[in-house]
A = this chain, B = another copy of it.
Amino acid sequence: MDAEQLRENAHKMVDFIADYYKTIENFPVLSQVQPGYLRELLPDSAPTQPESLQHIFDDIQAKILPGVTHWQSPNYFAYYPSNSSIAGFLGEMLSAGLNIVGFSWITSPAATELEMIVLDWLAKLIKLPDDFLSTGQGGGVIQGTASEAVLVVVLAARDNFLRRVGKNALEKLVVYASDQTHSALQKACQIAGIHPENCRMLTTNSTTSYALSPIVLNEAISNDITSGLIPFFLCGTVGTTSSTAVDPLGELGKIAKNNGMWFHVDAAYAGSACICPEYRHYIDGVEEADSFNMNAHKWFLTNFDCSVLWIKDRTALIQSLSTSPEFLKNKASQANMVVDYKDWQIPLGRRFRSLKLWMVLRLYGLENLQSYIRNHITLAKNFEEFVTQDPRFEIVTPRIYSLVYAVNSTGKIFISHTVLSGTYILRFAVGAPLTEESHVNAAWKVLQDEASALLSTSLG
């Protein structure tokens, strides 16, 4: 690690990456390679002698990039976006450059403290109740993904309950959510040892726009209590993966409170939109929640990974996840003067991820971030109008935020699909930083052309 060699080589990498962005539209957005393609192109073992950086760049160009699906392409409309930005990228660079491992405050006080401060900033931007701020009993923490966020709160809630009702009651604990909830919840339950038959993924339908019905929820809870089971965890979603359904947080939260349950809100995708006052109402009722999650790496220009979890009672997390081996003990921790984020998460080690979120907030500022969100929503609205005007397509659920459905088609561009009430549906998610009106127009043309081709084939 020679500073001048680092400088020279890293400048070359900057140019390589800038050139990539300049030419990103030249690549097929969805990689067209076949399974196993790379093994045929690379040697069977690592080299004994060093190779040149130029040789590696050549290989990246010729062998790696053809196998990349270009999430940053303006033509990427699949799943959910994974935003990269200049600020996010610079933050990743700095984090990799410092390469600290911030598990405890002492291992880099700035890493812990900047995370607390920046997550307070973000909580204020989306107007979370003060209970979620680090200045009280709560606070925010950056997890890798929403899967880890929901897992740690399931664990905190599980252990809270088991302390009260006895540790052999695990098989009686019941989780509630809608059938539109992200699969991460079921995975978290599986990891935590919650019995699969105690995971109530309650059926939704178009009458509630696929939101969880408080009536259905209440009924399920009553039945379970009658059967001697113990309701302990409720997950509400704001912006479900299949149809951006919004669960009624206020009503759900009251039910959770009445039954002494933990109430978690998954706003992984849609949370970002709440920095705009006109969309903030989607999380009305969040004051009833015990924990709230949004992914800054989806639609908030912060490079992956940066999943933000806020919690009202940080003690619950720490009781579930803390360890204190001798070799990690230090004065500041022992005196309870500091936050040690190792006790808020699954792994011990952690990167300095708050840098990138801090740089996004500062280099862009709130107003630009709001414009960014609004522009995508406008583009999605445009797309919705295209679809409405073409009788061959149907819109199945109302457009909320920037997710639009186009039905009965195949896609040459990269979009993904889901199933709602048994119907196969195309998902068209607008959210890539480079996406402009022209790209949405072109995508619609692709969809129309493919639909025409399909129809003429099936008729002919």
Contacts and interface: CB of A to CB of B under 8 A. Distances in A.
Interface of A: 1-7, 9-11, 13-22, 30-31, 33, 35-39, 42, 44-51, 53, 55-56, 60, 63-72, 79, 82-86, 88-90, 92-94, 96-101, 105-111, 113-114, 116-118, 120-122, 124-125, 144-148, 151, 155, 158, 167-168, 170-171, 182-184, 186-187, 190-193, 195, 241-242, 297, 303-305, 320-321, 323-329, 332, 337-338, 346-349, 351, 355, 359, 361-368, 416-419, 427, 433-434
19 contacts: A1-B434, A5-B86, A10-B90, A42-B117, A46-B122, A53-B363, A56-B363, A68-B98, A68-B110, A70-B98, A70-B100, A82-B99, A89-B96, A147-B349, A151-B346, A167-B171, A184-B323, A186-B323, A326-B419
Given A38-B113, A96-B96, A4 B17 contact: no
A35 B331 CA distance: 11
A304 B351 contact: yes
Given A82-B101, A327-B241, A348 B147 contact: yes
Interface of chain A, main secondary structure: helix
Contacts of A7: 14-15, 18
B190 A327 contact: no
Given A51-B363, A56-B362, 6 more contacts: A6-B17, A6-B18, A16-B97, A30-B106, A35-B332, A305-B351
Contact of A72 (B51, B64, B98, B367): B98
Nearest to A117: B42
Contact of A10 (B49, B93, B108, B144): B93
A190 B416 CA distance: 37
B190 A101 contact: no
Contacts of A325: 182-183, 241
Contacts of A147: 346-349
Interface centre among A46, A94, A321 (most CB of B within 10 A): A46
A121 B68 contact: no
A167 to B, nearest CB: 6
Contact of A109 (B47, B69, B107): B69
A67 B110 contact: yes
Given A108-B31, A110-B38, A113-B39, A99 B49 contact: no
B18 A3 contact: yes
A171 to B, nearest CB: 6
A117 B313 CA distance: 44
A18 B93 CA distance: 11
Contacts of A4: 18, 22
A252 B120 CA distance: 49
Contacts of A111: 67-68
B155 A191 contact: yes
B35 A22 contact: no
Given A14-B14, A99-B304, A242-B326, A193 B190 contact: no
Given A21-B1, A93-B96, A337 B368 contact: no
A362 B242 contact: no
A308 B8 CA distance: 30
A432 to B, nearest CB: 9
Contacts of A329: 417
Interface centre among A4, A35, A167 (most CB of B within 10 A): A35
Given A10-B89, A144-B349, A109 B33 contact: yes
Contacts of A70: 98, 100
Contact of A327 (B21, B63, B242): B242
A332 B36 CA distance: 11
A1 B56 contact: no
